[in-house]
Structure 1
Amino acid sequence: MRLLTVIAELGSGGAETVVDDLARHALAGGDLVDLASDGGWRADELAREGAALVRLPLRSSDPADLARSVLRLRRHVRQAPPDVVHAHNVRATLAAHLGTRWPRRRPPLVTTVHGLDAGDYPRAARVLQRCADRVVAVSDDVAERLRAAGLPDDRLVVIENAVPAPVLPAPAVARAALGLPADAPVGLCVARLEAPKRHDLLVEAWRTLPDDAVLLVAGEGSGRAALERQVAAAGLGARVRLLGERHDVPLLLAAADLLVLPSDREGLPMAVLEAMAAGVPVVASAVGGLRSLDRATLELVAPGSAEALAAALGSVLADRPGAAVRAHRAQEAVSQRYSSSAMRLAYQNLFTVQIG
C-alpha cells in the first residue's frame, strides 16, 4: 500500500504524534509512506526512516499558498499515485481533495479531526461532507460536535488517540539532566504557547503554590512574549522555566510530579495520554475528550478558573499517595483503552475498507 499523509506541519503536537506513530508502523510493515506537509523535525526523522517528503506551504493561511499546495500535490500524485490519502484537520483536507481529484482513479480520502474551535465546526462539517470519504474523530466529543454541525453519521467514525508505552529514565537522572533540585515539587505543561492552552491561568495558579515548586513549560508559539512578561511581572522567573520546543518529553515526564493542561478546548490531548501512560499524575481542564476519562485516573477542573486549577495542583502535590493511586489507575486505563496497537489496527482496517 502507498499511503499519502497530508498535514500542516510535522513538528511537535498531538496530531503530529499520531502521524509519526502511524507512519512508522506502516513503514515497518513494508508500506510506502509519502508525507506532505510544511516540514518539521518529525518529518526529518521519518525521512531518515524511509518516508518520502512533499513540501507544502500549509502552515500559511494565504489562499495563494493553498493553491501552491494543491499544484504540488497534483504533480506528486501523477508520479506516485497513492492507494489512500490521510489528511489531518480541515485545511489539509481541502488541499488533499483538490490535489488528488484529477487522476483517472481518485484515491479515497480519510480525514482525522483532532479538535477545533467551537465556532469552526459548522464550516468544517460542510467542507468534510464535500471532500472526505470518511471522517475520523479522535474522541466522542469531537464526533458529537461534527454530527451537531451537520456531518452525516454514516461518514463518521471514532478512533481515539493512543500512545505507546513510554521508556523513562530514572527521576533522579532526569532531574540532574535538567538542573532541578532532587526534592522540589515539579510540574510540567506540554502545549503550544497559544491562547486556547491558557498558560496565563497556569502562571496565575502557580503563584499560590509553595515557593520551591518549579514549573516546566515545554512548547513554542505566538504567546511566548506575553507569557514571558506575565512570568516576570509575577516574580516567578526562578520558578517557571520556559523550555521552548522539546523533543525529549519522556525525560521531562520522568522529572515531573504532575502534568498540567489548563486548556479551554481539546480533542483528546496526547500530552495527557503520555503522562497517564508514564504514571505521572495529571491535572487538566474538563473539556472535549478529557471529560470522557475516568475521574478516578486524573484531576479534572472547571476550565477558565485559576482558583480551581490552583486548588487541584495544591491537592495533588499535598497528597502524593492519593495521586500515585490515580496515576496507577491511569496507566491501566491507557493500556486497556488507548494503546497504539489498537489505534494502528483501527486505521489499518479503515484504510483497507476504503481501498476496497
Structure 2
Amino acid sequence: MRVLVMIHQLWRGGGTETHVLTLCSVLRRMGHAVTVYTAGGPWVRKAKSLGIPVHRDPSMHSSPKRSAMRLRQFLVRHRFDVIHAHDGPTVSVAVLALRPLKRRPRLVFTVHGPYVGHVPLKMAKQTAHTIIAVSPALQRYASRFGLGKSKITVIPNGIRTDVFRPVSKKLVRAGFKLPSEAYVVGYAGRFTIEKAQLGRRVVGALRHFTEHRPNVYILVAGRGSNRVIASAGHLKVLGHVNNMRMFYSACDVVIGTARVAAESVSCAVPTLALGTAGYHGLITRRNFAQMVRTNFGDHGSVRPWTTAKLSTELRHALSHREELRREARRTSQTLRRTLDADRMVRRILQTYH
C-alpha cells in the first residue's frame, strides 16, 4: 500500500510528530511505501535518517490554495492509495486537493487534540473516509461538529515498547551528572506558548518540594524548557532531549501527560499524570484503562491540581519507593500488552481499507 502521511510541521519532540514518525517507521517495516508531506521543520532530517522519504511544501505556511494545487499535482504523479492527515492545516489542504480528482485516495484524518478547529473538522466530514480520535474525549469533541460517532474510530497512540523499556538507573545517571543515590523527580513537556505556564508552575511546585530535602533532584526536559527556566542547584534543565528513554530511566518518578506519561510507564518508572487538562494521579494497573481513555491526562479534566496536592503525592512516592517500583513494573507490562505501536498501527491499517 502507498501511504502519504501529512503533518504541517515536523517540530522536535512533539507528541504528534513522534506519533507520525513511529507510524511511518512501523508501516515501512510492515512493507508499505510511506512518504511524509510537510511544510518543513527540524525533524525533517530525523525522518530522512530513518529512511522515510519527505516531500516539503513551504507554501502550506502561507497559501492553502497554492498548496492544494501542488498536492494535487503530487498525487497525480505518485498515485497514493491513502492520505493520512494529522492536523487541521493538512486535512484542509488535502480536502481542497482531492475535490477535482476523479481517482481519489482514501483520506484518513487523526484528531490529536481539541486545538483542531471547526472548519477543518467540517471539511473532513465531507471527504474523509475515516476520522481517528486518540481518545474518547476527542471523539466527543469531534462529534460536536456534526460527525457521527460511527465515522470516528478511537485508536490511542501507540508506544514503541521495543525502544521505551526499563534500563538500570545507575547506568544512565552519570550522563546527567546525578548522584546515584539521589531521589530524582522528572518533568517533561513542551515549553511552547500554550504549555509554558504549566511548566513554570510544575517546576515551581517541585522547587518548593525540594526545600529541606537535600537528596531530591529535579530533572526537566522539553522543547524550550532551557529558554524559560534556568538550571540552579539541584534543578537541572535540559531542553530538548533526543534519548527520552535515558531521561525517564534516570528518574525515580516522572510527571507528565499524553505521550510522555505513556513512554515513562513503558520504561517501568512510577508516573504521575498531570497536564493542562488537570491532575489524574499515579498511573497504576487499576486506573490504566481510564488513563488510556483520557490520553494519560491530556484530555478530559478530572480535577485541578495544587502545589499542596502534588507535594502530598511526591511525599507518598518518596516514602513508598519500592511499592511504587513494583507497581510500575506491572503497569509497564499492561501497557506493553495494550498500547504497543505495532498493535496500534495494525488498527490504523484497518481504517485504510
Is the alpha carbon distance of 1:347 and 1:296 closer, same or farther for their aligned partners in structure 2, counting shifts above 3 Å? closer
Is the alpha carbon distance of 1:178 and 1:289 closer, same or farther for their aligned partners in structure 2, counting shifts above 3 Å? closer
Q: In 1, distance between residues paired with 2:89 and 2:73? A: 19
Aligned to 2:266: 277
2:106 maps to 1:105? no
In the alignment of these two chains, the number of paired residues is: 333
2:75 maps to 1:74? no
Amino acid at match of 1:256: C
Where structure 2 has 5 or more consecutive residues not aligned to the other structure, the ranges are none
Is the alpha carbon distance of 1:211 and 1:38 closer, same or farther for their aligned partners in structure 2, counting shifts above 3 Å? farther
Amino acid at match of 2:349: Q
Q: Is the 8 A contact 2:184 2:218 kept in 1?
A: yes
Amino acid at match of 2:141: R
Which residue, 170, 175, 178 being the options, matches 2:176? Answer: 178
Which residue, 226, 234, 246 being the options, matches 1:251? Answer: 246
2:339 maps to 1:344? no
**Local SS of the residue matching 2:170:** helix
Q: TM-score scaled by structure 1?
A: 0.83
Q: Is the 8 A contact 1:9 1:40 kept in 2?
A: yes
Q: In 2, distance between residues paired with 1:135 and 1:208? A: 43
Q: CA deviation at 1:132?
A: 2.3
Consecutive aligned runs of 4 or more in structure 1 exceeding 6 Å deviation: 288-293, 298-301
Query: Where do residues 81-160 of structure 1 align in structure 2 (5 Å cutoff)?
Result: 81-117=79-115, 122-160=118-156
Aligned to 1:207: 207
Amino acid at match of 1:220: R
Could you report, residue by residue, the CA deviation over 1:84-116 in whole angstroms, capped at 9, with x for unpaired residues? 000002222112222343332111110111112
Q: In 2, distance between residues paired with 1:254 and 1:245? A: 16
Is the alpha carbon distance of 1:289 and 1:107 closer, same or farther for their aligned partners in structure 2, counting shifts above 3 Å? farther
Q: In 1, distance between residues paired with 2:101 and 2:31? A: 25
Where structure 1 has 5 or more consecutive residues not aligned to the other structure, the ranges are 264-268
Q: In 2, distance between residues paired with 1:135 and 1:309? A: 36
Is the alpha carbon distance of 1:28 and 1:241 closer, same or farther for their aligned partners in structure 2, counting shifts above 3 Å? same
Amino acid at match of 1:22: L
Q: CA deviation at 1:41?
A: 5.2
Could you report, residue by residue, the CA deviation over 1:159-199 in whole angstroms, capped at 9, with x for unpaired residues? 11121222454211210111111111212222111333611
Is the alpha carbon distance of 1:238 and 1:325 closer, same or farther for their aligned partners in structure 2, counting shifts above 3 Å? same
Q: CA deviation at 1:294?
A: 5.3
Question: Which stretch shows the higher mean deviation, 195-204 or 2-11?
Answer: 195-204
Question: Which stretch shows the higher mean deviation, 279-288 or 248-257?
Answer: 279-288
Q: In 2, distance between residues paired with 1:144 and 1:288? A: 18
Is the alpha carbon distance of 1:104 and 1:281 closer, same or farther for their aligned partners in structure 2, counting shifts above 3 Å? same
Amino acid at match of 1:86: H
Q: In 1, distance between residues paired with 2:215 and 2:67? A: 49
Q: CA deviation at 1:309?
A: 2.1
Q: In 1, distance between residues paired with 2:265 and 2:5? A: 28
Amino acid at match of 1:275: S
Q: Is the 8 A contact 1:94 1:131 kept in 2?
A: no
Q: In 1, distance between residues paired with 2:91 and 2:260? A: 24
Aligned to 1:266: none
Aligned to 1:307: 308
Q: Is the 8 A contact 1:142 1:288 kept in 2?
A: no
Could you report, residue by residue, the CA deviation over 1:329-353 in whole angstroms, capped at 9, with x for unpaired residues? 321220222121220110111112x
Q: In 2, distance between residues paired with 1:289 and 1:309? A: 9
Question: Which stretch shows the higher mean deviation, 41-50 or 108-117?
Answer: 41-50
Could you report, residue by residue, the CA deviation over 1:270-290 in whole angstroms, capped at 9, with x for unpaired residues? 111111111001112274896
Q: In 1, distance between residues paired with 2:103 and 2:131? A: 20
Q: CA deviation at 1:68?
A: 4.4
Q: In 2, distance between residues paired with 1:187 and 1:241? A: 11
Is the alpha carbon distance of 1:296 and 1:109 closer, same or farther for their aligned partners in structure 2, counting shifts above 3 Å? closer
Is the alpha carbon distance of 1:289 and 1:237 closer, same or farther for their aligned partners in structure 2, counting shifts above 3 Å? closer
Amino acid at match of 2:7: I
Q: TM-score scaled by structure 2?
A: 0.84
Q: In 1, distance between residues paired with 2:254 and 2:188? A: 8
Q: In 2, distance between residues paired with 1:21 and 1:257? A: 26
Aligned to 2:195: 196
Is the alpha carbon distance of 1:293 and 1:349 closer, same or farther for their aligned partners in structure 2, counting shifts above 3 Å? farther
Q: CA deviation at 1:24?
A: 1.2
Aligned-residue RMSD, C-alpha:
2.9
Amino acid at match of 1:8: H
Q: CA deviation at 1:250?
A: 0.9
Amino acid at match of 1:196: K
**What's the % identity of the aligned pairs?**
25
Q: Is the 8 A contact 2:285 2:330 kept in 1?
A: no
